Chain A
Amino acid sequence: MAAEDDVKKLREVFGAKVLDTTEFRGEQTLRVELGVLHDVLQKCQAELGYEMILDVSSLDHFGDDPRFEMVYEIATVDDSKHLRVKARVSEEETVPSVTDIWPGADWHEREVWDMMGIPFSGHPNLKRILMWEGYPFYPLRKDFPLAGRPSDMPDVAFTGVAPLEGGPFVTCAGGEDTVRREPRARVLE
């Protein structure tokens, strides 16, 4: 059974709660409401054979509402099927943790919490994984500057603003000569 059959089955079970499905070069993507996200993933693991979680990531659609989007990449262990499940999350909402379905989601969710600031409910150990506890920002949000922001926690760590010297440096693919192709400070259009 292929992933597209699973998508059909999930549409039948969850009806209008499955907002959208897309197929791109054989990759199946399922967009669901946040309310049924945990149930959908639970069903995928328990009944459809997706034993493995490959990645949990998040997007920041800054300026849109709801602002964030969760992305779950799940697969079977023999790699016969691969499914991507997405759900939009607003800034006030909490995402149900999937660590009860796949224990491997633990660190992925901690990373999402650390970098994007999306909280999870039911996570056994929701604390920062890369930055230190007490760091006041979420660095992968769109409104966080690339150069960083100054912060200071005495005896733990501090951060500063990196000099960008007119950057960020952007590589221009397909430029006429090496000077135009190599990474340089450019104004992005």
Chain B
Amino acid sequence: MTGKSPAQPIRIMVSPSENTLHTAYDSKIEGNVIVTRVDAAINWMRKNSLWPMPMGLACCAIELMATASSRFDISRFGMEVMRFSPRQSDVLIVSGTVTYKMALAVKRIWDQMPEPKWCVAMGACASSGGMYRSYAVLQGIDRLIPVDVYISGCPPRPEALIEGLMKLQKKIEGEESTMAQKKEFLDQIS
């Protein structure tokens, strides 16, 4: 462009009006504010930053690793931050056969995870014991910890795991944690 004065500062304005000082309405903020419910905002933040705790116990863990790597890339969904400490993770992905010898260790890791937390049972073994109808295998991790999403497959393909995690995101979207807290508080004082 020609004829532009070099002394003129660059101004970023949302509203074309410069006269905003004497009004309660601040047009500089307009367009930068979203009105929403607290629950919706919290859920939006939670679901797009799920930090998984990989509980790789058998061959499903190989598919879990493939899911995390570049070909399938769960960082597209904000889940790439695999944490090997339960205290830093949100979602426990139980991928593989849970033997009775391992069962209480899985439970212990689940107990160490801070709320809010979710659990995904990946594959037939974690969901139901799978083909291992045996003295040595726990018949589904849901006998010990609450499971949010079950993924079928033996093992499930990475796409199936991603689908499961997206189902989990859908589930998180519908949560009403502050409303539940408020209700609990109102029940207490009444």
Interface residues of B (CB under 8 A from A): 100-101, 103-104, 129, 132-139, 143
Contact = CB atoms under 8 A, between A and B. Distances in A.
B133 A163 contact: yes
Contact of B135 (A147, A156, A163, A167): A147
Contacts of B133: 146-147, 162-165, 167-168
Name, among B104, B129, B133, B138, the residue most crowded by chain A CB atoms within 10 Å (CB to CB). B133
List 4 tightest A-B contacts by C-beta distance, closest first: A148-B135, A162-B133, A159-B100, A139-B135
Contacts of B100: 157-160
Contacts of B132: 162
Given A131-B101, A157-B101, A139 B139 contact: no
A146 B103 CA distance: 20
A159 B134 CA distance: 10
A144 B139 CA distance: 18
A147 B129 CA distance: 12
A144 B104 CA distance: 24
A159 B132 CA distance: 14
Contacts of A167: 133
A130 B137 CA distance: 12
Contacts of A148: 134-136
Contacts of A162: 129, 132-135, 137, 139
B137 A156 contact: no
A148 B134 CA distance: 6
Name, among A163, A165, A168, the residue most crowded by chain B CB atoms within 10 Å (CB to CB). A163
Interface string A163-178: 1110110000000000
A160 B143 CA distance: 11
Contacts of B143: 160
A158 B135 CA distance: 10
